[in-house]
A and B are shown apart, each in its own frame.
Chain A
Amino acid sequence: MDRRGWLNFIGRRVLPAVAVLALLAASLKLAEQAAGGGNEFASAYPWVLGAAVLALLVLVILIAQRLWRLRAEMKRDAPGARLSRRLLLTLILLAVPPIVVVYGFALRFINATVDSWFDVNTERALDDALEVGRIVIDERVRKAESGISELADELDTSFDSTLQQALDSRIDSLEAIQLSVFEPNRQVLALASSDPRYLEPLFPDTSVLMRISGEDRFAAAEPLGDVLMIRVLVPIGSATGGNKRRLLQGLFPLPDRLQPLTRSIENASFDFQRLKYLRGSLKLTFGLILSFVMLLSVLFAVLAAFGVSRRLLAPLGRLIHATRAVGAGRFDTPLPIASNDELGQLVNSFSVMTREVELAGMRAQRSAREIDAQRVWLGAVLERLSAGVLGFDNTGILRVANRAGEAILGVQLSNYSGRNLAEIKRDHPELASIADPLARHMREGLREWREEIVIDAESGRRVLMLRGAALPGEGGFVAVFDDLTVLNSAQRDAAWGEVARRLAHEVKNPLTPIQLAAERLRRRFLGRLPADDSELLDRATHTIVSQVEALKTMVNAFGDYARPPQLTTRPVALHALIDEVLDLYASDQRLSLTRQFMDGEPMIKVDAVRLRQAMHNLLKNALEAIGETRKPQILVRTAPHHDGDAAWVDISVADNGPGLPEGFGDRWFEPYISSKARGTGLGLAVVRKIAEEHGGSVSARQREGGGAEFTLRLPLGLNAGTGAG
């Protein structure tokens, strides 16, 4: 503890206690003086009383201040305030009643004790003794008065010269200690003394002289110094003519045996009477001192109770504050210093608990972060999976659906998170073929299962491979499905490519010799044979040549389809290229060819030859679709398209033909799928292949008001569309 701490400790703890102890000691001293007399601290009474009142006032103010503070703390629900009030009440209840009881008993005891001092018989005995003393003294006074009166009569007729002799002769017979005659002006005429201590005349005072002038004599016993003396004063002679007379004074001591007895009687009676008179004051004094001591003790006890409760509960209040702070997640809140008692154990336990909670919280946070990271990672994985993934909890509620799943099924499944399969099925009946088996397998509780299903999504008929598994414990179920449609298409594309290459290699090579052989036969034998045979030969060779040409055309088409994508891309002015292609068809007077190009000249990086072929194929497809339509119309237009950050250009070829056949889908862009009797079925397949080689796509839709519209979407911009080249 530093110097300031010591001073604070002395000022706040030691001094008040010392002051209270000093006041209590002073009160005890006052009580002792009240009971037994003594005059040492008589002048200190006002100071002690003032200090006591001041101490009481200070204590009352301190207690009021602490009560006010406690009330404020309770109002704002400060930690430990209610407990402090309870403890305070308990301490006060423990401390105050005993003090009050002791006070009551002490007061009663003092009153009873003081009253017991005054016994009636004692008082009567003392009064009687006093009366006896008075009678004895009165008898002595009368005797002395009688003797002095006789002497005064004798002296009345004596000469002044004989006064001294008369006194000397009578002093022994009268048993006086001093006889004197003096003038009214105090001039001593004669004085006789039987005791050397009384050689000086003891003149009567004014009051005595007044008594003599009124009653013509004075006789009384009065204390002279330490002894009781009878003084008798009688005028000599009769009063005539208003002249003041000489006075004869006689002093008579009480007998030696009587002196201490009368003094003792007087003192005893006096003491008793004094005590009797002081009885009330004594009770009041004791009552006041006791009340002061009681009040001081009670108030000090209450103040001490405040201190004790604050000292006891301060760590608890800080602990409550700390618990609230820890509850709010502030683990760095300082805890009260642990003492070596139960409260200290509580603080230590709380400290340990706080550390453990903090560690647990950190572990939980780390786990949560790891879980979040796992979730993000899993989400990223799920989002990058080409297979669709659906996660259900054990009650069949959808919890997870990845983007591939949404793309395959054509439904925004994230909107159905937290909903069950029945609701999804109700909103999207086309998903019944996946919802039903999912629900069935979840009901059956199979650990793993797989099933191939077909759904009719908005994007067309899709074949899915659906696999499911029950997660461990109560983890729910997960379903994974792959779009076999794309896989099948790729497989078919690969197969057709192989067929095309074989055709190009195996079929195209013999066609030329066949054609040449047919033409040689025609030249050698046409005209040499009879007319009927020549005609037959002509028809046959012509058929062979034309069919070989047709076969060549078909084989070339297959060759085009199967040709490896070796693109030679360069920036091309799109509208100019389309114009060049369309110009080839403009000569057809029957056809109405309309162009609707977007503003400007979009430059795209493509293989111009391949794009030109795609445009030809689309236009041929349109012309074949128009067929015998009376007013055939073809609309070619370009339009920009934006998908996120990617910019595209759509090249659409629309016709007013019969429109797309029923059930048109992605498969119609596969080789050898055609609705036309004479088509090779490779036109649209080639278009799709060219589109995909350039990183684009092709799609078809039914036009409103009739006809079909095929759209080739290519990346816009010089850096795009490099495709596989």
Chain B
Amino acid sequence: MVSFMHFWKRLASAVLAMALLAGCEAIEQQAPGALQVRAARIVAASAGPRLELDLDCRLNGPMMDALEHGIPITLRVDLRAQSDSAVLHDQRRIELRYFPLTRRYQLRDHREGDVQSFPASAYLIDALASLKLSLPQAFAQLPAGSALSLDVALDKTALPGALRLPALIEPAWRLAAPEFTWTVAAG
């Protein structure tokens, strides 16, 4: 009876160790991508205020794989401005998508309908370094010294239904930039 219990204990320990190793390997394979806001500023253009955004985005394997298989990757851009007189918020969605027939990658601003097309994913990712997003007119009237914060992250709600639950669990689908803050300069 005692040896039987010992056997089961050893077996359970071995299984546990193997599961632990497998888990570690899976986590290693599912390393999250990287996303960072290198620079951001609001520019007053003739057509209205514009957010010029420099994103350093590196999609990991599963995300690139998903993109190649037609899964759109959507980045949610949340801009918040706070001054003494007002609090402003603007949310944009930037969609990265691949079209297999023409082998073109697209960068699309959902609100404006602006579409950029690229022959390779590298161009698509590079395009994120020079995003220009139009903003509501209220952002042009922000007084100097107003605090601005920017959050950019993968929009998991835009993923297909089958991917939403795993995206909540799997580390590979964690893609969010640290909050970027700056203030409106004078003049």
**Which A residues touch B70, using CB under 8 A?**
270-271, 273-274, 277
**Residues 499 to 529 of chain A near chain B (Cβ within 8 Å):** none
Asked whether any CB of chain A lies closer than 8 Å to the CB of B133, the reply is: no
Asked whether any CB of chain A lies closer than 8 Å to the CB of B161, the reply is: yes
Q: Do A35 and B69 have beta carbons less than 8 Å apart?
A: no
In the assembly, what is the distance between CA of A46 and CA of B165, in Å? Answer: 8
**Which B residues touch A35, using CB under 8 A?**
161-162
**Which A residues touch B69, using CB under 8 A?**
273-274, 276-278
| Known contacts A207-B127, A273-B69, A277-B66: A222-B117 contact under CB 8 Å | yes
| Known contacts A222-B117, A228-B102, A265-B101: A277-B166 contact under CB 8 Å | no
Q: Do B104 and A223 have beta carbons less than 8 Å apart?
A: yes
In the assembly, what is the distance between CA of A448 and CA of B46, in Å? Answer: 145
Option from A207, A222, A223, A282 in Cβ contact (under 8 Å) with B123? A207
**Which B residues touch A278, using CB under 8 A?**
69, 71, 160, 162-163
| Known contacts A222-B117, A277-B65: A266-B100 contact under CB 8 Å | yes
Asked whether any CB of chain A lies closer than 8 Å to the CB of B145, the reply is: no
CB of A558, distance to nearest CB on chain B (Å): 109
Closest B residue to A36 by beta carbon equals B161
In the assembly, what is the distance between CA of A212 and CA of B165, in Å? Answer: 43
**Which B residues touch A205, using CB under 8 A?**
116-117
Closest A residue to B123 by beta carbon equals A207
Q: Do B164 and A266 have beta carbons less than 8 Å apart?
A: no
Asked whether any CB of chain B lies closer than 8 Å to the CB of A285, the reply is: yes
Q: Do A34 and B161 have beta carbons less than 8 Å apart?
A: yes
| Known contacts A45-B168, A49-B165, A207-B127: A37-B106 contact under CB 8 Å | no
Closest A residue to B104 by beta carbon equals A222
Asked whether any CB of chain B lies closer than 8 Å to the CB of A179, the reply is: no
**Residues 255 to 289 of chain A near chain B (Cβ within 8 Å):** 262, 265-266, 269-271, 273-274, 276-278, 281-282, 284-285, 288-289
Q: CB-defined interface of A21-32 with B at 8 Å, one 1/0 digit per residue?
A: 000000000100
Asked whether any CB of chain A lies closer than 8 Å to the CB of B29, the reply is: no
Asked whether any CB of chain A lies closer than 8 Å to the CB of B99, the reply is: yes
Asked whether any CB of chain B lies closer than 8 Å to the CB of A43, the reply is: yes
**Residues 109 to 133 of chain B near chain A (Cβ within 8 Å):** 115-119, 123, 127, 130
| Known contacts A220-B119, A223-B117, A274-B71: A281-B166 contact under CB 8 Å | yes
Asked whether any CB of chain B lies closer than 8 Å to the CB of A133, the reply is: yes
CB of A142, distance to nearest CB on chain B (Å): 14
CB of B13, distance to nearest CB on chain A (Å): 24
| Known contacts A42-B158, A274-B71, A277-B66: A223-B102 contact under CB 8 Å | yes
Q: Do B99 and A223 have beta carbons less than 8 Å apart?
A: yes
Q: Do A39 and B157 have beta carbons less than 8 Å apart?
A: yes
CB of B134, distance to nearest CB on chain A (Å): 16
Q: Do B165 and A137 have beta carbons less than 8 Å apart?
A: no
Q: Do A285 and B100 have beta carbons less than 8 Å apart?
A: no
Q: Do A134 and B101 have beta carbons less than 8 Å apart?
A: yes
In the assembly, what is the distance between CA of A207 and CA of B129, in Å? Answer: 13
In the assembly, what is the distance between CA of A152 and CA of B118, in Å? Answer: 24
**Which A residues touch B166, using CB under 8 A?**
281, 284-285, 288
**Which B residues touch A233, using CB under 8 A?**
none
**Which A residues touch B123, using CB under 8 A?**
207
Closest A residue to B117 by beta carbon equals A222
**Which A residues touch B117, using CB under 8 A?**
205, 207, 220, 222-223
Q: Do A289 and B100 have beta carbons less than 8 Å apart?
A: no
Q: Do A223 and B162 have beta carbons less than 8 Å apart?
A: no
In the assembly, what is the distance between CA of A421 and CA of B170, in Å? Answer: 100
**Which B residues touch A627, using CB under 8 A?**
none
Option from B100, B127, B165 in Cβ contact (under 8 Å) with A284? B165
| Known contacts A211-B119, A274-B70, A274-B160: A46-B168 contact under CB 8 Å | yes
Option from A42, A49, A273, A274 in Cβ contact (under 8 Å) with B157? A42
| Known contacts A207-B123, A281-B166: A273-B161 contact under CB 8 Å | no
**Which B residues touch A220, using CB under 8 A?**
102, 104, 117, 119
Q: Do A130 and B160 have beta carbons less than 8 Å apart?
A: no
Q: Do B101 and A34 have beta carbons less than 8 Å apart?
A: no
Asked whether any CB of chain B lies closer than 8 Å to the CB of A209, the reply is: no
- Which of A46, A211, A270 is most buried by chain B, counting CB atoms within 10 A of its CB? A270
Asked whether any CB of chain B lies closer than 8 Å to the CB of A38, the reply is: yes
Asked whether any CB of chain B lies closer than 8 Å to the CB of A411, the reply is: no
**Which A residues touch B160, using CB under 8 A?**
37, 274, 278
Q: Do A273 and B100 have beta carbons less than 8 Å apart?
A: yes
In the assembly, what is the distance between CA of A35 and CA of B102, in Å? Answer: 28
Asked whether any CB of chain B lies closer than 8 Å to the CB of A33, the reply is: yes
In the assembly, what is the distance between CA of A206 and CA of B117, in Å? Answer: 10
Closest B residue to A127 by beta carbon equals B100
CB of A377, distance to nearest CB on chain B (Å): 69
| Known contacts A207-B123, A266-B100: A223-B106 contact under CB 8 Å | yes
Q: Do A34 and B164 have beta carbons less than 8 Å apart?
A: yes
Q: Do B157 and A43 have beta carbons less than 8 Å apart?
A: yes
CB of A37, distance to nearest CB on chain B (Å): 6
Q: Do B102 and A222 have beta carbons less than 8 Å apart?
A: yes
CB of B101, distance to nearest CB on chain A (Å): 4
- Which of A45, A130, A207 is most buried by chain B, counting CB atoms within 10 A of its CB? A207
Q: CB-defined interface of A43-87 with B at 8 Å, one 1/0 digit per residue?
A: 101100100000000000000000000000000000000000000
In the assembly, what is the distance between CA of A137 and CA of B99, in Å? Answer: 13
Closest B residue to A129 by beta carbon equals B101
In the assembly, what is the distance between CA of A262 and CA of B101, in Å? Answer: 8
**Which A residues touch B163, using CB under 8 A?**
278, 281, 285
**Which B residues touch A277, using CB under 8 A?**
65-66, 69-71
In the assembly, what is the distance between CA of A52 and CA of B65, in Å? Answer: 30
In the assembly, what is the distance between CA of A500 and CA of B187, in Å? Answer: 167
Q: CB-defined interface of A213-240 with B at 8 Å, one 1/0 digit per residue?
A: 0000000111110001000000000000
In the assembly, what is the distance between CA of A365 and CA of B70, in Å? Answer: 94
In the assembly, what is the distance between CA of A211 and CA of B164, in Å? Answer: 37
| Known contacts A223-B117, A274-B160: A288-B100 contact under CB 8 Å | no
Q: Do A207 and B101 have beta carbons less than 8 Å apart?
A: no
Closest A residue to B164 by beta carbon equals A45
List 7 A-B residue pairs with CB atoms under 8 Å apart, sorted by A's residue number: A30-B161, A33-B164, A34-B165, A35-B161, A220-B117, A273-B100, A285-B161
Please give me the 6 A-B residue pairs with the lowest Cβ-Cβ distance, nearest first: A277-B69, A42-B157, A33-B161, A266-B101, A282-B162, A270-B70
| Other 16 A-B pairs with CB < 8 A, given A33-B164, A36-B161, A281-B163 | A34-B164, A39-B157, A130-B101, A137-B101, A211-B119, A220-B119, A221-B101, A223-B106, A223-B115, A269-B100, A270-B99, A273-B69, A277-B65, A277-B69, A282-B162, A288-B165
